[in-house]
């Protein structure tokens, strides 16, 4: 009897941790422990994917090349021209105009967005978008991880930049966490101009069409809601059009 009690005590000592932590299903299922991983948490970070840039000459219908996309990626297209031509025409299907930003009478920028479809489009002619034949440039940028319904724009601000070697987008206030702020400067800028963005900002576009339009675009991930200002320094003091937008991420799950 003493040996039996010793044997039972040893068994209880070995199995006690399992008895305390294992669910009832372990014992009902014959003592087999099955481990299941918790469901993955969807990342809330928006990421830049890729970009394209190019020029157009003396046309009302610029041909825009797009970066590669997956379904629900957000595309941003910006046009800059050598005249104050209006983008009063209708953009291709799926595109929404955000703003036309003028600086004086010598140039402006036009900004559009679109949510990518299952079947990607590599390029399109934006037929009769511009009100007069224009020479200028375009840039197209792709972002992944934005909300998949409704407008991805959290908040935005546009304006005219006065002559300076220190440019600022002005301040926006984001309404939530993990926004991607995109800063845009452009217009009829001089040939050879280049830009240096502020701390933490990644330059995505720095394109110049020999004085017939120039664009610089940068972005920065903003982890907390609050005030955001983006700055860049051109190599030559000049005027321009400016804009800043914040993209909304997929909500965390």
Q: What is the pLDDT of residues 80-93, one digit of tens each?
A: 987 778 899 999 99
**Lookup result for tokens 């990518």:** 116
pTM metric for this prediction: 0.81
Which of 55-59, 174-178, 187-191, 217-221 has the weakest average pLDDT? 187-191
As to burial, measured by CB atoms within 10 angstroms (0-12 exposed, 13-18 middle, 19+ buried), residue 187 is buried
The pLDDT tens digits of the residues spanning 238-248 come to 888 899 999 99
**Domain membership flag for residue 33:** no
**Domain membership flag for residue 85:** yes
As to burial, measured by CB atoms within 10 angstroms (0-12 exposed, 13-18 middle, 19+ buried), residue 143 is buried
**Domain membership flag for residue 227:** yes
Which three-class secondary structure state does DSSP give residue 26? Answer: helix
> Between these two residues, 158 and 212, which has the higher pLDDT value?
158
Q: How confident is the model at residue 105 (pLDDT cuts 50, 70, 90)?
A: low
Among 214, 209, 169, 220, smallest CA distance to 195 is for 214
**Domain membership flag for residue 8:** no
Which three-class secondary structure state does DSSP give residue 6? Answer: helix
| Phi, psi angles (nearest 5°) of residue 33 | -95, 120
**Domain membership flag for residue 169:** yes
The first and second tokens of residue 48, run together, are 């830049």
The pLDDT tens digits of the residues spanning 16-61 come to 444 444 444 433 444 343 344 554 444 568 999 999 999 999 999 9
> Between these two residues, 24 and 106, which has the higher pLDDT value?
106
**Domain membership flag for residue 77:** yes
Residue 252 pLDDT more than 70? yes
The first and second tokens of residue 252, run together, are 């965390």
How many CB atoms are located within 10 Å of the residue 217 CB?
A: 25
84/80 Cα distance (integer angstroms): 9
Per the structure, the count of domains in the chain is 1
| DSSP H or E segment with residue 22 | none
23/35 Cα distance (integer angstroms): 11
- Predicted local confidence at residue 8, as pLDDT: 46
How many CB atoms are located within 10 Å of the residue 190 CB?
A: 13
- Expressed as residue numbers, the domain containing 133 is 47-247
Contacts of 70 (CB under 8 A, 6+ apart): 116, 120, 144
> Between these two residues, 253 and 176, which has the higher pLDDT value?
176
- Predicted local confidence at residue 18, as pLDDT: 42
- Kindly write down the DSSP assignment for every residue of 74-125, as one continuous string: EEEEEEEESS-----SPPSTT-EEEEEEE-TTS-EEEEEEEE--SS---EEE
Distances (CA, A) of 104 to 107, 159, 165: 7, 11, 18
**Domain membership flag for residue 38:** no
Residue 130 pLDDT more than 80? yes
**Domain membership flag for residue 229:** yes
| Total count of residues recorded for the chain | 253
- Predicted local confidence at residue 104, as pLDDT: 65
């Amino acid at each position: 009897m003493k040996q039996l009690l010793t044997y039972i005590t040893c068994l209880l000592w070995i199995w006690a941790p399992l008895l305390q932590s294992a669910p009832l299903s372990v014992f009902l299922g014959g003592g087999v422990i099955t481990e299941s991983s918790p469901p993955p948490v969807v990342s809330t970070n928006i990421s830049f994917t890729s970009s394209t840039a190019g020029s157009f000459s003396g046309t009302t219908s610029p041909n825009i090349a797009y970066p590669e996309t997956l379904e629900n990626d957000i595309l941003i297209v910006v046009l800059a021209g050598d005249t104050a031509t209006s983008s009063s025409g209708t953009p291709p299907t799926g595109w929404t105009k955000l703003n036309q930003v003028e600086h004086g009478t010598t140039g402006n920028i036009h900004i559009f967005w679109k949510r990518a479809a299952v079947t990607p489009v590599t390029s399109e002619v934006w037929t009769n978008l511009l009100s007069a034949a224009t020479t200028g440039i375009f840039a197209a940028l792709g972002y992944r991880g934005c909300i998949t319904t409704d407008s991805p724009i959290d908040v935005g601000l546009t304006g005219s930049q006065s002559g300076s070697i220190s440019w600022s987008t002005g301040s926006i206030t984001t309404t939530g966490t993990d926004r991607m702020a995109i800063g845009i400067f452009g217009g009829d800028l001089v040939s050879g101009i280049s830009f240096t963005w502020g701390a933490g900002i990644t330059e995505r576009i720095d394109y110049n069409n020999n004085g017939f339009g120039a664009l610089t675009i940068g972005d920065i991930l903003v982890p907390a809601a609050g005030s955001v200002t983006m700055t860049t320094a051109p190599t030559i003091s000049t005027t321009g059009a400016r804009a800043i937008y914040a993209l909304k991420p997929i909500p965390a799950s």
